[in-house]
Amino acid sequence: MKNLLKVSLSFFAVMLILSSCGRRESGELTGVLDRPDWKGMNPYGMVYVRPGVVHVGNSDQDITGTFIQRPKQISISGFYMDETEISNNEYRQFYKWVKDSIALDMVGAYYTGDDGEERLDWEVEIDWTDPVLEDMYLEGDLAGRKMTNTELFEYNYKTVDWKEAAKSRIGENSILDYVEEHTINIYPDTMVWVRDFAYSYNEPMTRNYFWHPAFDDYPVVGVSWDMANAFSYWRTSLWNQYNDILTEEFRLPTEYEFEYAARGGRENAPYPWGGPYTRNAKGCLLANFKPGRGNYPEDGGQYTVPVDAYYPNDYGLYNMSGNVAEWTVSAFYENANSFVHDMNSDIRYDAKEDDPIAMKRKVVRGGSWKDISFYLQTGTRSYEYQDTTKSYVGFRNVVSFMGRSINDF
């Protein structure tokens, strides 16, 4: 009897242990029960753009444009989008992170983690007077100011070429075979203000635009397509350090996501505010662009304006037309609408340095402070080369929405 009691107690003890573990089989098909809850995300400074349909294509005013950009209906999944363009101060957070990481590497501030890997010790206070850090500055000074050696500020990151990975047969290759490494100098090209405009005095913008506090909330410019992608990767890494792991990443929008978001839910609207005019009933301009024959200050800004200037569209997005044109992730093909899929249409090509220049074209949307109103129209496409920097091109991020459509439930 005692042995039977011992066996029974042992049996119940084992069952108690098993029931306390994550595996709780009941003989029923219940799915894995110890899955983490997903309550969604609400990234700071972003707004939700619900899924829907967008009819893309040039307006009727651009007759020749319709010959190479056929109208097309495209279904777009929901996503989060930055309500404003990335500002100087937001991009400066990225630059400062890269600068600090280089300084920590120079002074040898590392620690060994539990996995045996060496990592930068961000708890170390950086002494910027340390002679070891002299290489971060150019020799001499200018007007009593030390000049930063901008060639040092390179950011290294890795991405997966999912398109190529999808071509391989199951079990043929590892996903690691499609990892690509990138090394990008991330310091904004401040010389664009002089380079973009011949016989024009814009040196004050070169000296001050990225650094002076007066321009903190102005859109960052002088950033190439490659630099914008590097920023997006860093932003994803930053999120993952302090929040639930994000399997989707901050990225540039596709050109069709941008056009859909720019319209703010207004079907076939030529401008984010609806249109058809660029002035309201009082005669005030509704965006920052080149009005008339070039009265740049008439709209309130000689060059760019703060990222939250003017009224937002019906999605709560600011400056989807004007201020700065914006990089998209999409490669530029004149007749893309003729062959892209009608669901989340996207065409991508990350051109190599030795590729033909035509392969380096990336779609920019929205028009800028130096463009006429035609480029502000939601259906107008244009392009810049991915390795170039301009004083009139910036960017903003999006994140794909994970889960069911929140506007239907």
Is the peptide bond between 297 and the residue preceding it cis, with omega within 30 degrees of 0? Answer: no
Q: Is the pLDDT of residue 141 over 50?
A: yes
As a whole number of angstroms, the distance between CA 361 and CA 340 comes to: 17
Rounded average pLDDT over 85-106: 96
pLDDT at position 6: 47
Q: Residue 192: pLDDT above 80?
A: yes
Within 8 A by CB and 6+ apart from 132, the residues are 106, 107
Reported confidence tier of residue 19, pLDDT bands at 50, 70, 90:
very low
Question: What distance in Å separates the CA atoms of residue 393 and residue 254, rounded to the nearest whole number?
Answer: 16
Comparing 18 with 310, the larger pLDDT belongs to 310
Nearest to 82 by CA among 219, 190, 186: 219
Instruction: Average the pLDDT over each of 48-52, 138-142, 199-203, 233-237 and give the range with the smallest value.
Output: 138-142
C-alpha distances in angstroms, 109 versus 121, 183, 241? 5, 22, 19
Q: 232 is written with which tokens?
A: 């997006």
Closest CA relative to residue 314, chosen from 276, 373, 260: 260
Tell me the longest C-alpha to C-alpha distance in the chain.
105
Digit-coded pLDDT (tens) for 152-163: 999 999 988 888
Among 77-81, 226-230, 240-244, 270-274, the minimum mean pLDDT is found in 240-244
R_g (Cα) of the chain, nearest Å: 26
pLDDT tens digits, residue range 235-255?
999 998 887 776 789 999 999
What pLDDT was estimated at residue 76?
94
pTM: 0.89
CATH of 39-86+221-409, one of 3.40.50.1860, 3.40.50.720, 2.40.50.140, 3.90.1580.10: 3.90.1580.10
- The upper half-sphere exposure of residue 241, i.e. CA atoms within 13 Å in the direction of its Cβ, equals 7
Locate the domains of the chain by residue range: 39-86+221-409
Residue 409 has a pLDDT of: 45
Q: Tell me what percent of the residues of the chain surpass a pLDDT of 90.
A: 57
Confidence category of residue 14, pLDDT binned at 50, 70, 90: very low
What pLDDT score does 408 carry? 46
Separation of alpha carbons 381 and 366, rounded Å = 8
Mean pLDDT across the chain: 87
pLDDT value, residue 5: 44
The pLDDT of residue 350 is: 87
pLDDT band for 116, please (50, 70, 90 cuts).
confident
Give the pLDDT band of residue 20 (cuts 50, 70, 90): very low
Report the range of poorest mean pLDDT among 39-43, 63-67, 211-215, 357-361. Answer: 63-67
Region of poorest pLDDT, from 100-104, 161-165, 169-173, 260-264: 169-173
pLDDT surpassing 60 at residue 8: no
- Checking if the pLDDT of 16 tops 50, the result is no
Is the distance from CB of 155 to CB of 184 less than 8 angstroms? yes
Would you say residue 307 has pLDDT above 60?
yes
- Which of 14-28, 32-46, 188-202, 315-329 bottoms out in mean pLDDT, i.e. has the lowest? 14-28
Rounded distance, CA 65 to CA 53, Å?
22
pLDDT tens-digit readout, 283-292: 899 999 999 8
Look at the alpha carbons of 84, 86, 89, 94 in this order and tell me if their dihedral is positive or negative. positive
Q: Which residue has the higher pLDDT, 167 or 96?
A: 96
Q: Which residue has the higher pLDDT, 60 or 173?
A: 173
